[in-house]
């Protein structure tokens, strides 16, 4: 079998458990996902230290770190660089940009990148800009990939963590651009009926004020209702 196909098949998918691994970071050795059990975390890879786009991303992640913490979510950076390179880059960011990076950065020898499928041959030998959102049970909920030339929108990553937690808690789905959806604003979607009887009951329930519907398959409500 082609090696590239084997790697693609071994890459983690949505719903998979995050692969167990021991990693060396700027904050010491960590066992993932074990050491973050009970917390969500965002692991994001970057192509290399001392590169302009990556620097802007790390500053943006750090400036939103408290927002992630409020969501019981930790941040972990990663690239195929040695620890001393990460530390020196952190020092440069603090000295030149007056921002202290306080979340850990994994120093990878290539093993983590290989396990997570972070090196894409068509985009060079560096790690691509990947984002793994992992829930409090160690399950991968979101995977995002960006090319090296495009920096990520960190506000969007905050948004998806918050949206997924709400979806889990209230057993609902989240509309496009939530909480500023063009049709239902900040309201949330009730999952579609899965049988004929439930479909018939939907519009009746909406008449009682339990929620609102455009049709039986598109019903929505405010959080808390």
Which sequence spans correspond to the domains of the chain? 3-169, 171-225
Which CATH fold topology does 171-225 show? Antioxidant, Horf6; Chain A, domain 2 (3.30.1020)
DSSP letter for 172, please: -
DSSP letter for 173, please: B
Check if the beta carbon of residue 157 is closer than 8 Å to that of residue 73. no
pLDDT of 16 over the 80 cut = yes
Check if the beta carbon of residue 162 is closer than 8 Å to that of residue 154. no
Annotation marks residue 54 as catalytic? yes
pLDDT band of residue 116 (cuts 50, 70, 90) is confident
Q: Provide the pLDDT for residue 8.
A: 46
Mean pLDDT across the chain = 89
In this prediction, what percent of the chain has a pLDDT beyond 90? Answer: 67
Q: Provide the pLDDT for residue 35.
A: 96
Task: Name the token pair of 220.
Answer: 């929505």
Q: What's the rounded Cα separation, in Å, for the pair 136 and 41?
A: 8
Q: What's the rounded Cα separation, in Å, for the pair 85 and 191?
A: 47
Q: What's the rounded Cα separation, in Å, for the pair 150 and 125?
A: 17
| Four-way CATH pick for 3-169: 3.40.50.150, 3.40.50.10420, 3.20.20.100, 3.40.30.10 | 3.40.30.10
Which residue out of 54, 73, 213, 219 is catalytically annotated?
54
Q: Which of 33, 44, 22, 27 shows the shortest CA–CA distance to 161?
A: 44
Check if the beta carbon of residue 64 is closer than 8 Å to that of residue 153. no
Q: What's the rounded Cα separation, in Å, for the pair 97 and 62?
A: 12
* pLDDT tens digits along 124-146: 556 678 999 999 999 999 999 98
Check if the beta carbon of residue 151 is closer than 8 Å to that of residue 46. no
Q: Provide the pLDDT for residue 7.
A: 46
Check if the beta carbon of residue 94 is closer than 8 Å to that of residue 115. no
């Amino acid at each position: 079998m082609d090696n590239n196909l084997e790697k693609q098949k071994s890459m983690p998918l949505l719903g998979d458990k995050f692969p167990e691994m021991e990693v060396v970071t700027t904050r010491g050795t960590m066992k993932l996902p074990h050491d973050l059990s009970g917390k969500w975390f965002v692991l994001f890879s970057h192509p290399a230290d001392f590169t302009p786009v990556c620097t802007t991303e790390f500053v943006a992640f750090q400036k939103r770190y408290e927002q992630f913490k409020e969501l019981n979510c930790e941040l972990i950076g990663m690239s195929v660089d040695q620890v001393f390179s990460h530390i020196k880059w952190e020092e440069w960011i603090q000295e030149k940009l007056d921002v202290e990076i306080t979340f850990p950065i994994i120093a990878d020898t290539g093993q983590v990148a290989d396990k997570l499928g972070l090196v894409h041959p068509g985009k060079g030998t560096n790690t691509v800009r990947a984002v793994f959102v992992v829930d409090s049970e160690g399950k991968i909920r979101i995977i995002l990939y960006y090319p090296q030339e495009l920096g990520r929108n960190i506000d969007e990553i905050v948004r998806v963590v918050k949206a997924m937690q709400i979806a889990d808690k209230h057993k609902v789905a989240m509309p496009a651009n939530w909480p500023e959806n063009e049709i239902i604003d900040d309201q949330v979607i009730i999952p579609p009926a899965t049988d004929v009887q439930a479909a018939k009951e939907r519009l009746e329930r909406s008449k009682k004020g339990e929620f609102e519907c455009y049709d039986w398959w598109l019903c929505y409500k405010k959080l808390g209702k």
